[in-house]
């Protein structure tokens, strides 16, 4: 670009150029239409408005599709997490079932052991009772003999002597009586010893039975606790399954809505392409008419060449950054959401109200408001070059104004279809959107 592009023709020459162009158009008997006049059934403003409306709808639909996809992904992530939790609860419940089975087996073993101990205790009690009867019988017999011997005294011994055939028999009888007495006494003592041993065994069995019963109570308590935990896990698992089902339903609803928006997106993309084609035809026709007008003017008057254009020559163009002090591009030029972003979005902290300047000198051919672009301006720089500035809080120029490079033409806002204060800036060559960063830099 030519660094001397800042040189501009005085405004009086511009006025003269316009007058000359009008005279020539009259002389051509309607064969020439000025760039600001209609060249087709619809004007540039109407076509651009339609294109902006479609782009706004595309942005809206793609935002919704993106938002829905995010929600679908979130639901899927939730379902994955719920599935993991459900499986963990299932594993925990399975382990608890194993614990309960093991505890029930222990309870059965302890009950069998207690039954056996109770049988042993009953048997010992019977043995002790029988032994007590035997002791009592033997002891009664022993007492009877002892009483008889005591009562007989020496008479009994004399009678035994007289009844004996010999002294030897007498001694033998005396020994037998003593032996019987000693045997009875020893028997009683033995029976008492056996009874005491049985009572010790019974005491030991009873004490062990108490321990087994205590262990049984602990096992039953553990089982009750595990059963309660298992029930809680089952309730939690059931709640998770309900949440999973709800999430799955929500995901299906979101996917259906997303499919609907995607269908709408396809139709809007087709409509956008149709409007873009119409816009291209408009610019092409405008370029042809401008070329014809310039050729006619050149042949009619040698002096008209100095006043046929209201903007600088194409070779002198040197675009500047349209938003001084702000360089962040929040949305670049190019493919976006299945469509095409025809410009760049420039934003930054405190950008609201910042002055927007003309990237080059030119004539304002559109300064209006639109529901999508909000307040926006289009400047024609000649040679097929135009720039567009959208979402202004207010417009600082009017249609037909000649603006110099760097002149304030409006202020940053968030009008139209905008999620926040920023400048939407476009560069077009013969109606075709170009990447602005190839023409300007911060």
| Averaged pLDDT, 405-419 | 91
Would the pLDDT of 15 be above 50? no
- d(CA 370, CA 365) in angstroms, rounded, equals 15
Task: Please report the pLDDT score of residue 158 as a whole number.
Answer: 52
Could you tell me which residues come within 8 angstroms of residue 269 by beta carbon, excluding any fewer than 6 positions away?
A: 58, 338, 339
Would the pLDDT of 424 be above 90? yes
Give the CA-trace dihedral at 62, 64, 66, 70, to 10 degrees: 180
Confidence of residue 421 (pLDDT cuts 50, 70, 90): very high
- Please name the fold of domain 43-308: Helix Hairpins (1.10.287)
- d(CA 409, CA 400) in angstroms, rounded, equals 13
- d(CA 131, CA 125) in angstroms, rounded, equals 10
Task: Please report the pLDDT score of residue 45 as a whole number.
Answer: 67
Taking CA atoms, 16 is separated from 13, 23, 309, 387, in Å, by 5, 11, 10, 25
341: β partners: 334
- CATH number assigned to the domain with residue range 310-442, chosen from the 4 options 2.70.70.10, 3.40.50.2300, 3.40.50.1100, 3.20.20.70: 2.70.70.10
- The percentage of the chain sitting over the pLDDT mark of 90, rounded to a whole number, equals 19
- The percentage of the chain sitting over the pLDDT mark of 70, rounded to a whole number, equals 70
Would the pLDDT of 271 be above 50? yes
- Of 141 and 28, the one with more pLDDT: 141
- Cβ burial, residue 144 (10 Å; 0-12/13-18/19+): exposed
Task: Please report the pLDDT score of residue 203 as a whole number.
Answer: 87
**Helices vs. strands in the chain: H and E counts, helices first:** 3, 12
Would the pLDDT of 7 be above 70? no
DSSP element (H, E) containing 364: strand 362-370
Average pLDDT taken over every residue of the chain: 75
Would the pLDDT of 81 be above 90? no
Task: Please report the pLDDT score of residue 275 as a whole number.
Answer: 60
Would the pLDDT of 335 be above 50? yes
- Write out pLDDT tens, residues 112-136: 888 887 888 788 778 778 777 877 7
Q: Which of 93-102, 183-192, 222-231, 235-244 has the lowest mean pLDDT?
A: 183-192
Could you tell me which residues come within 8 angstroms of residue 361 by beta carbon, excluding any fewer than 6 positions away?
A: 5, 8, 311, 312, 381, 402, 403, 404, 405
Confidence of residue 390 (pLDDT cuts 50, 70, 90): very high
Would the pLDDT of 330 be above 60? yes
- Write out pLDDT tens, residues 364-381: 988 988 777 789 999 999
Query: Could you tell me the two tokens for 300?
Result: 């009619």
- d(CA 355, CA 408) in angstroms, rounded, equals 6
- Write out pLDDT tens, residues 290-307: 778 778 877 765 443 333
Task: Please report the pLDDT score of residue 175 as a whole number.
Answer: 61
Would the pTM of this model clear 0.85, i.e. be above it? no
Would the pLDDT of 256 be above 90? no
Where b means 16+ CB within 10 Å and e means fewer, 83-95 reads eebbeebeebbee
Confidence of residue 24 (pLDDT cuts 50, 70, 90): very low
Query: Could you tell me the two tokens for 94?
Result: 């399975």
| Phi, psi dihedrals of residue 322, rounded to the nearest 5° | -80, -10
Task: Please report the pLDDT score of residue 133 as a whole number.
Answer: 80
Task: Please report the pLDDT score of residue 279 as a whole number.
Answer: 60
The domain limits of the chain are 43-308, 310-442
| Averaged pLDDT, 79-92 | 86
């Amino acid at each position: 670009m030519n660094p001397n592009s800042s040189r501009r023709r005085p405004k009086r020459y511009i006025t003269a150029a316009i007058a000359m162009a009008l005279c020539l158009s009259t002389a051509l008997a309607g064969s020439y239409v000025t760039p600001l006049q209609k060249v087709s059934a619809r004007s540039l403003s109407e076509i651009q408005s339609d294109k902006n409306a479609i782009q706004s709808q595309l942005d809206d639909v793609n935002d919704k599709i993106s938002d829905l996809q995010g929600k679908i992904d979130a639901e899927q992530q939730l379902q994955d997490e719920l599935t993991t939790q459900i499986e963990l609860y299932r594993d925990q419940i399975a382990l608890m079932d194993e614990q309960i089975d093991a505890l029930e087996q222990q309870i059965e073993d302890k009950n069998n052991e207690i039954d056996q101990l109770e049988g042993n205790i009953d048997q010992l009690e019977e043995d002790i009772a029988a032994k007590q009867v035997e002791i009592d019988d033997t002891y009664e017999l022993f007492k009877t003999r002892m009483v008889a011997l005591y009562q007989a005294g020496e008479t009994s011994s004399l009678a035994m002597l007289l009844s004996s055939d010999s002294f030897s028999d007498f001694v033998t009888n005396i020994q037998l009586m003593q032996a019987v007495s000693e045997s009875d006494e020893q028997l009683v003592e033995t029976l008492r010893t056996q009874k005491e041993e049985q009572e010790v065994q019974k005491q030991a069995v009873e004490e062990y039975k108490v321990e087994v019963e205590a262990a049984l109570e602990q096992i039953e308590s553990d089982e009750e606790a595990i059963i309660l935990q298992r029930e809680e896990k089952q309730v939690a698992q059931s709640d998770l399954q309900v949440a999973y089902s709800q999430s799955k339903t929500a995901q299906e609803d979101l996917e259906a809505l997303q499919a609907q928006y995607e269908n709408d997106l396809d139709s809007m993309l087709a409509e956008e392409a149709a409007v873009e084609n119409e816009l291209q035809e408009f610019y092409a026709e405008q370029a042809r008419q401008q070329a014809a007008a310039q050729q006619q003017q050149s042949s009619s008057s040698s002096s008209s060449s100095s006043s046929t254009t209201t903007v600088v020559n194409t070779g002198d163009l040197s675009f500047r950054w349209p938003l001084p002090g702000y360089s962040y591009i929040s949305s670049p030029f190019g493919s976006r959401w299945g469509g095409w972003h025809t410009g760049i979005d420039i934003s930054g902290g405190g950008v609201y109200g910042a002055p927007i300047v003309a990237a080059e000198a030119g004539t304002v051919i559109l300064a209006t408001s639109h529901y999508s672009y909000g307040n926006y301006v289009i400047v024609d720089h000649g040679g097929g070059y135009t720039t567009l500035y959208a979402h202004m809080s207010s417009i600082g120029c009017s249609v037909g104004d000649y603006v110099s490079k760097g002149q304030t033409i409006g202020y940053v806002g968030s009008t139209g279809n905008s999620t926040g204060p920023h400048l939407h800036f476009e560069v077009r060559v013969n109606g075709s959107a170009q990447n602005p960063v190839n023409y300007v830099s911060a």
